[in-house]
Structure 1
């Protein structure tokens, strides 16, 4: 087989393997890797990432079980899961072991150890705190609150906006519960990944990840792809803040989507012929300020503008990368309407004897292919071919 034939042959690339590192020293699990029967990592923009590792445990000559009694796995031990593509290693998950579930059925050959994990945000769920953030003379931004709460942890806060300013914001919850509330109040995402924290709006103008290739001949890396296009979502979110005193008037306003379009035509434009927009209405909650309710309404209508959803599955080896939530990706091979740039909403990574699969959900607020802000990298096969000339 010639070099060009090899490059066009999907089997030219070696299968992706997995690496599991445990503890502060990042100790490889060594020979126990051969006993791992499956790994599933569930990542999402709007909730904590989780991982489940299943090990087919075996009893040694001393009567101990190789995994359960190895001393490697313990509650609150740190854990990292990597995908090894032979040419490079991508981190899939980082966090803490939260639960150990050994099982010993009647057939001793079916003993298993299941390890349940949560991402780094789990460290912010350990203590219920009562605290007041900021005051009238020294308001405190939500970004400053995030910085303060993650300070004891080995986490880096990525660049982002300040968010709302708090004047005597009362916390009566765990730190992670407070931060989730503040993300919702600002219409932000909060993603813990690779030792970093992102707290901010959708990153729609970031460079796209490696493209998802559908019906692309030997360059195909997507096993299936399906799109749903939903109509019944609001074009406008109207909000109202109740009068602060008797005789005063309520404060009202409206929010419309203001995010960059991932396509030529906004998805909302396809209902414009009805004459009136679809409107949702919300009211201020508790001591919510006008700024906060405005931000919440803006976040709601921006999220609602993503009417296009796509689901599919990648062959992880052929894709050659870890598809990451909270980033853009280009889809090629599904036509001019449904092709183009999408935003990654969720990804489930599955390692099993069948290989490495990535099941994804993408979202989009427009239709039609456009030129991405950053040029999408070529697939590994196309990159190799291009380098020949």
Structure 2
């Protein structure tokens, strides 16, 4: 019995099933679902999402292999993976098949077809381009550049800030490499998901996803949960732009975390009593403008403010939804300090004979349960530190 049949088996806790669609026509793989032994999808807010399908391939009466010779799977074929919760269907992954790996060991009954996939961003990795964007008289925003580069893919660009204005950037890389560089320069996330692309800051104030329930009796959907509280992160990122001439002074500045809090108290406030803040220092790179250095420093210190990290595993059937990277989620049942709103960093979705599991990594810039995302990023302690510089 294949993994899809086992997940559909009513005796298996009425578990969520998985649906695989391929090609422009979104064709269901049909009877080949019986041969699927596992599916794993890795989703991240900072990297491309990837999927691996493992099929236990079998020979038919003509000597062909049912999956490898089916004609369904080919390089650059579109693929969608859905989770079917019986009452509703949610998309887990969308992208392209990028690698096919059939194996034929001595025992023919152990033949397999492994299919590797990457999200929609893979289509932006096919051509190294040398393209100028904007100039002093007609600067282009990073958002406008993004829209131009993804236009051939018919993806929906989710509204976000424009990002820095180009004074004359030259792209000398693939489109996806260049866009990830521009996202980093702005302190933005670049996420391809469900036919959409998001380019902007962390969406901390979005509505939280369905709660992760720990130690909640019959409502429990989380199999395990662990927290790591890091100390060695900078409170301040100091930056410097070299002088244009020998007679000029360098231009300097400092960046402090300015994001809404996912809790009552900023994580950075602990340890502030040492008397001196933790400071990282950066210098301008190449022909970076002051605005670009400031944006990079701000992105660094904002990312560093997420000192709290959590990991765990969901029973996908009990959770009843697809947990998504790059969005908030509330954790309940782990006490007043570690409970509350987190931001989803990564999720690994696994469909196999044991069921549907979602292994997650969460991040947080504060501690303490709250009913909503906080609006003031600085505690009185950090405000006092800032006033000293």
Q: TM-score normalized by structure 2?
A: 0.93
Aligned ranges 1:144-183 → 2 under 5 Å: 144-183=144-183
2:367 is aligned to 367
Show CA shifts across 1:185-207 (max 9, x none).
00000000000000000000000
Q: Is the 8 A contact 1:207 1:372 kept in 2?
A: no
Structure 1: segments with no counterpart, 5+ residues = 1-10, 375-389
1:83-102 Cα offsets, whole Å, 9 max, x none, are 00000000000000000000
Asked if the contact 2:263/2:373 (under 8 Å) is kept, the reply is: no
Note the residue ranges of structure 2 that are not aligned, 5 or more in a row: 1-10, 375-389
Residue equivalent to 2:90: 90
1:233-248 matches, within 5 Å, as 233-248=233-248
- Alpha-carbon distance in 1 for matches of 2:87, 2:104: 39
Distance in 2 (CA, whole Å) between partners of 1:186 and 1:315 is 36
Where do 1:91-240 residues align within 5 Å? 91-240=91-240
Question: Partner residue of 1:63?
Answer: 63
Partner of 2:260: 260
What per-residue deviation string (whole Å, max 9, x for no partner) do you get for residues 62-116 of structure 1? Answer: 0000000000000000000000000000000000000000000000000000000
The match for 1:43 is 43
Partners of 2:12 and 2:74 in 1: CA distance: 39
How many angstroms apart in 2 are the aligned matches of 1:12 and 1:355?
A: 8
- 1:250 Cα deviation from its structure 2 partner: 0.7
Q: Deviations over 1:233-281 (max 9, x none)?
A: 0000000000112311111000000000000000000011001110000
Provide the aligned C-alpha RMSD in A: 1.1
The answer on whether the counterparts of 1:238 and 1:252 sit within 8 Å (CA) in structure 2 is yes
SS at 2:356 equivalent: strand
Which residue does the alignment assign to 1:6?
none
CA contact (8 A) 1:103 1:111 kept: yes
2:260/2:373 contact within 8 Å kept:
no
Q: Give 3-state SS (helix, strand or coil) of 1:98's partner.
A: strand
CA–CA distance in structure 1, aligned partners of residues 246 and 76 of structure 2: 53
Distance 1:204 1:116 in 2: 32
Structure 1 residue runs of 4 or more that deviate by more than 4 Å after TM superposition:
none
Aligned to 1:7: none
Partner of 2:274: 274
Contact 1:263-1:367 within 8 A present in 2 as well: yes
Q: 1 CA distance for matches of 2:270 and 2:151?
A: 46
Give the equivalent residue in structure 1 for 2:348: 348
Distance in 2, Cα, partners of 1:12 & 1:263: 38
Q: Is the contact made by 2:237 and 2:297 (CA closer than 8 Å) also made in structure 1?
A: yes
Please report how far the alpha carbon of residue 342 of structure 1 lies from its aligned counterpart in structure 2 after TM superposition.
Answer: 0.2
Q: Secondary structure at the match of 2:270?
A: helix
Q: How many residues align?
A: 364
| Distance in 2 of aligned mates of 1:152 and 1:327 | 27
Distance apart, 1:13 and its partner CA = 6.2
Secondary structure, counterpart of 1:40 in structure 2: strand
Output the TM-score relative to the length of structure 1. 0.93
